[in-house]
Structure 1
Amino acid sequence: MEAERSLSRRASSSSSFRLRCPSLNSVRLRRVFDIFDRNHDGIITVQEIHQALTRLGLETDLCDLDSTINSFIKPGNTGLTYNGFVALHQSLDQTLFGLDLEEKAEEEEVSQDESDLTEAFKVFDEDGDGFISAQELQAVLGKLGLPEGKEIGRVEKMICSVDRNHDGRVDFFEFKHMMQSVVVRSS
């Protein structure tokens, strides 16, 4: 119970924790799962989750995390499968926000999607100037341990691929357009 209280204090301060658009949840959760699954074995350990959260600057107590996650790990597994990760997310969503699925469906999805995108944009826009530069993107990719974060040339190509006004950086509207096109293609 203490673990849930400490997690609820941290999670309730971030509106981006809660993914309210049901149609996008599975895509988003799969991406998060894949980021946490550092060795790509289809299982994420408590240690992998702890390391990813720490790299993102989110302080977590390993013991609290372990006690919260342990009940979602199937006997014989060393960590969470994707289905266990989804069950954990749903449980935390219910515990921290107290809404059932019917209430979620009634919420206004468009404004929440915009809010989720704004929160995601802020993760990349480290200096808060309203733009994502190649250096900022490289820093975030590096924190996540992704190989793209090691090569500025690849990062610059990523920026160019969504930079519609060719100013060498990505503004919120370019980011939003990119995210919407990724979601459409993934669905």
Structure 2
Amino acid sequence: MSPLSKIQLHQIFNKLDKNGDGLVCTDELMWLLERIGVRTNRVELERFVGEEALNAVDFLFFYEALTIGGGGSLVREKYDLETRDEVLEMDLRRAFRVFDLNGDGYISGDELRVALSGLGLWDEDCGADCEAMIAAYDSNSDGFLDFHEFKDMMLFDSLASP
């Protein structure tokens, strides 16, 4: 089976989100997993997911977690890593890949605009604002965010928030 594209995953997410609240609950995930032949129970799924519902970004991470392990079991823990820093690094790399649409290792203003729009987090008039967001954290002034600049941005924003 070929990996699904981000567009296909967003289409699946939108079809699962029957009430249009921007979340897919564990009942909807259970239904999907049963249809694709993944056997689990509610307790295992909730432990694996770590929440009662997933937004679009978390749904992408959920798909990655299932496919990276080669279709591994939901019985294992969501993250089998030794330190919190490793978990944070892994989460940031996954988030980076959501925005790095062409997979070149950099996030451009256009990629940021498309990804935010696709996630329903920004409207079509964000072009100049996306460039300003990139420029604010672009430490080498190349017009793009590499992973380390993205990480700095995410960690700064999380530290600045109460």
1:116-165 per-position Cα deviation (integer Å, ceiling 9, x unaligned): 11111011001111100000000001101223553211111111111111
Count of aligned positions: 114
Tell me the CA shift for residue 48 of structure 1: 2.7
**Unaligned 5+ residue runs, structure 2?**
1-16, 33-41, 43-49, 54-61, 63-72
Give, in whole Å, the separation in 1 of the partners of 2:96 and 2:84. Answer: 18
Equivalent in the alignment of 2:65: none
Is the 1:163–1:169 Cα contact (8 Å) retained in structure 2? yes
Equivalent in the alignment of 2:88: 113
Tell me the CA shift for residue 46 of structure 1: 4.8
Is the 1:133–1:169 Cα contact (8 Å) retained in structure 2? yes
Aligned-residue identity in percent? 35
Report the 3-state secondary structure (helix = DSSP H, G, I; strand = E; otherwise coil) of the residue aligned with 1:170.
coil
Q: Which residue, 151, 154, 158 being the options, matches 1:179?
A: 154
Give, in whole Å, the separation in 2 of the partners of 1:52 and 1:149. Answer: 22
Is the 2:113–2:122 Cα contact (8 Å) retained in structure 1? no
Q: Which residue, 132, 152, 165 being the options, matches 2:127?
A: 152
1:164 lines up with 2:154 in the alignment? no
Is the 1:130–1:172 Cα contact (8 Å) retained in structure 2? yes
Is the 1:134–1:152 Cα contact (8 Å) retained in structure 2? yes
Pairs within 5 Å for 1:94-109: 96-99=74-77, 107-109=82-84
Is the 2:108–2:145 Cα contact (8 Å) retained in structure 1? yes
Q: TM-score when scaled to structure 1?
A: 0.48
> Which has a greater percent of helix?
1
Over the aligned positions, Cα root-mean-square deviation in angstroms equals 3.9
1:68-106 per-position Cα deviation (integer Å, ceiling 9, x unaligned): xxx9xxxxxxxxxxxxxx7516xx9xx935549xx98x8
Tell me the CA shift for residue 185 of structure 1: 1.6
Equivalent in the alignment of 1:47: 19
Tell me the CA shift for residue 107 of structure 1: 3.3
**Unaligned 5+ residue runs, structure 1?**
1-44, 54-60, 66-70, 72-85
Give, in whole Å, the separation in 1 of the partners of 2:156 and 2:109. Answer: 20
Report the 3-state secondary structure (helix = DSSP H, G, I; strand = E; otherwise coil) of the residue aligned with 1:114.
helix
Give, in whole Å, the separation in 2 of the partners of 1:176 and 1:87. Answer: 24
